[in-house]
Amino acid sequence: MQRLRLKADGRIVELRDGQECPLVPTASVAPAPTGPVEVRDLRRRADLTQQEFAAKLGVPVETIRNWEQGKRMPRGPARALLTVIAHAPDAAFAALAKA
């Protein structure tokens, strides 16, 4: 069984014999959203306004605007969450709705 870990910077690593090994992404896996265009595209693919997206993520709408305008970049847990949303948006939003 393959054991994976999502790192705070958005990387996914495989755990082998107690060591973290970079997971080679397949063509079907979306890259981590790292810039304003990627965050905007992710939000648009989810068919959400900035206000709706911010509410689902539990962040101020200004944060979403800053990410989309390139004034700030998602870091740490926010980047990890965006990576999960990029890979499995329905599951991520369902889990966030329960929190």
Say if residues 4 and 14 touch (Cβ distance below 8 Å). yes
Q: Where are the domains of the chain?
A: 31-98
d(CA 7, CA 1): 19
Q: What is the DSSP letter of 64?
A: H
Indicate if the pLDDT at residue 71 is higher than 50.
yes
User: How many Å separate Cα 23 from the centre of its chain?
Assistant: 16
* CATH of span 31-98: 1.10.260.40
Indicate if the pLDDT at residue 27 is higher than 60.
no
d(CA 19, CA 41): 34
The SS3 call for residue 19 is strand
Indicate if the pLDDT at residue 32 is higher than 80.
no
> How large is the average pLDDT for residues 70-86?
90
Q: Please, where are the H alpha helices in 8-75?
A: 36-45, 50-57, 61-69
Token pair, residue 30, equals 């979306």
> How large is the average pLDDT for residues 33-52?
87
